[in-house]
A = this chain, B = another copy of it.
Amino acid sequence: MTRLFNDPAAFADEMTEGFADAAARWVQRVPGGVVRATAADEPTVALVVGGGSGHYPAFGGLVGPGLAHGAAMGNLFASPSAQQVYSVAKAADQGRGVLLSYGNYAGDVLHFTQAQDRLNAEGHDVRTVLVTDDVWSAPADQQEKRRGIAGDLVVFKIAGAAAEAGMDLDDVERLARHANARTRSFGVAFGGCTMPGADAPLFEVPKGRMAVGLGIHGEPGIDEVDIPTAEGLAEMFVAKLLEELPDGVTVAGSRVVPLLNGLGSVKSEELFVVYRTVHRLLDEAGATVVEPEVGELCTSFDMAGCSLTLLWLDDELERLWAAPADSHGYRKGAVAPQRRVEVHVDEEDAQLPIGPASEASRALGDVIASALADVAQALDDAADELGRIDRVAGDGDHGIGMQRGSHAARDAGRRASEAGAGAQTVLAHAAEAWSDKAGGTSGAIWAEILKTVGTALTDDEAVTAQRVADGVRAASDAVRAFGKAEVGDKTMVDAIVPFAETLSAEVAAGRRLGDAWAAATDAAEAAARSTADLVATLGRARSHGEKSIGTPDPGAVSFALVCRTVHRAFVDAPATT
């Protein structure tokens, strides 16, 4: 479990700060992540990687000569925002184009794609190669649906070496795609990590058992078996990966790179014992092992698990795999000395853009900015009470996190509105600021809600009750997908689901938005009261020494509070009907 932190909400920021100090020989900070602190003599294609934090050496630890040029570093296990990716990629671009490469997760795809669209629109040549190496995450004929795990390193290494060799963006993209097509991974887990400040691990596997194919964030696996011997695990790994060879590969006579990756708590000594058999089995199958890697290549905090990745080489891939690389978290061979450079980031590149908007949408943006100010005020008033509930139910920081996020959202929303932004853009700016300053899961969830509702409102179309209801429903779906919670789990989902359903039903029944919102708020408040009651019971039970009563969080309570506050803003706002 994670034991050392200050404010859990500040963990990712402080981690990035400490990392940049520790890795100053390789990286420098830019808004959204890090880029290289050095440059080659000639400009090259820039490889920009990224994803959630908590996977060291992925992703900042892989920035340096022969590897990535920049890494967008999101919050813990949370995709970086489009703005972060944009900022890092723009700082990394040397005029020869940018390859974005990252593991195939919905949140990452969403945000990296938004950044890519924006950069392409601005005249940068930006391409994407997704890493999809995890054989258990989708069938073989749907490789495009597979997750990326330790295969990330393989694709990054090949693309980074191709860029370093001076190849153009077409070739770097082609080789990264080729490397991904020839890379397969198989992971197992014995237990999940415990995030900073959390009470319990992300997932648990019964003692003595092993989850097969389980994802690095606890995504479901395909089977659970007794923990095998080291030999048994090596046999399981190799048998499956030899069953699923990339097109055109036959084992006998092949050259192959095995990467045996520890996720955090499976240590080098165990990995070497497993590797001993992996090496023998590949050898017996007639393959030649080339420059293997055994160690922590893509982790998940202190998750207990490991994975085997096989990269099936051809001559071109082998040259690139053997090429030198030098980053904080991955070093190989002798890299030629490079000169230090200092990257200057334009202030405005670190900001979300403000596009054109209709007059009606700008007016709505102003209403939203006012509503955000009301929400911040309401949360100030309620912060002590939210903190009190969270001290019984969680770690006590919910009130502070909501305050910090809503203040930042208020300020960013107001600035955007004053700059002429439409409804979608005001909410996008507010979302970015909320997530940035609040951190933590609730910060990410609130950013998701604001952004999703904003997408439904757009920057040019007239607002309708239907559009608001659709946006809220999409936000509700996004929150459920994000937190993997269901109604009854005593989280914000308990409130947002009935809120969204009631709002849709009332709007469908032809009621005015203000009335529909009021009815929906009633439904959310009923859920919030149920959580608050449980928390009160829990408080009493805890003081009587009981521990197994579940862990409600105050998300439903603060959600209902926000809905009620926004309702007042709607009632006062003639623009919405």
Interface residues of A (CB under 8 A from B): 2-6, 11, 14-19, 21-22, 25, 53-54, 56-57, 61, 190, 196, 227, 229-231, 233, 260, 264-277, 279, 289, 291-294, 299, 301-302, 304, 306, 324, 326, 329, 331-337
Contacts and interface: CB of A to CB of B under 8 A. Distances in A.
A229 B5 contact: yes
A302 B18 contact: no
B270 A2 contact: yes
A212 to B, nearest CB: 14
B279 A22 contact: yes
A272 B190 contact: no
A275 B3 contact: no
Nearest to A293: B22
6 interchain residue pairs of minimum CB distance: A18-B276, A334-B334, A18-B272, A56-B268, A331-B331, A4-B270
B230 A4 contact: yes
Contacts of A336: 334
A5 B270 contact: yes
A230 B14 contact: yes
Contact of A273 (B5, B230, B272, B294): B5
A15 to B, nearest CB: 5
Given A4-B306, A268-B299, 14 more contacts: A3-B270, A4-B229, A5-B229, A14-B230, A15-B269, A15-B273, A18-B272, A18-B294, A21-B275, A21-B292, A22-B260, A22-B275, A267-B301, A334-B334
Contacts of A19: 272
A327 to B, nearest CB: 11
Contacts of A334: 324, 326, 333-337
Contact of A15 (B14, B260, B272): B272
Given A22-B279, A230-B4, A230-B6, A54 B14 contact: no
A17 B265 contact: no
B231 A6 contact: yes
A267 B61 CA distance: 13
Contacts of A196: 270
Contacts of A267: 2, 56, 264, 299, 301-302
Contacts of A335: 334
Contacts of A299: 267-268
Highest count of chain B CB atoms <10 Å: which of A56, A227, A273, A289: A273
A369 to B, nearest CB: 35
A14 B268 contact: no
A11 B279 CA distance: 17
B18 A274 contact: yes
23 contacts: A2-B269, A2-B270, A3-B190, A4-B270, A4-B274, A6-B229, A6-B273, A11-B273, A16-B272, A18-B271, A18-B277, A21-B276, A21-B279, A21-B289, A22-B275, A22-B279, A22-B292, A22-B294, A56-B268, A56-B269, A57-B268, A267-B301, A326-B334
Contact of A264 (B4, B265, B272, B275): B265
A271 B4 CA distance: 8
Highest count of chain B CB atoms <10 Å: which of A56, A265, A329, A337: A265
B17 A276 contact: yes
Contacts of A22: 260, 272, 275, 279, 292-294
Nearest to A2: B270
Given A6-B229, A265-B264, A275 B337 contact: no
A301 to B, nearest CB: 5
A3 B266 contact: yes
A6 B521 CA distance: 59
A56 to B, nearest CB: 4
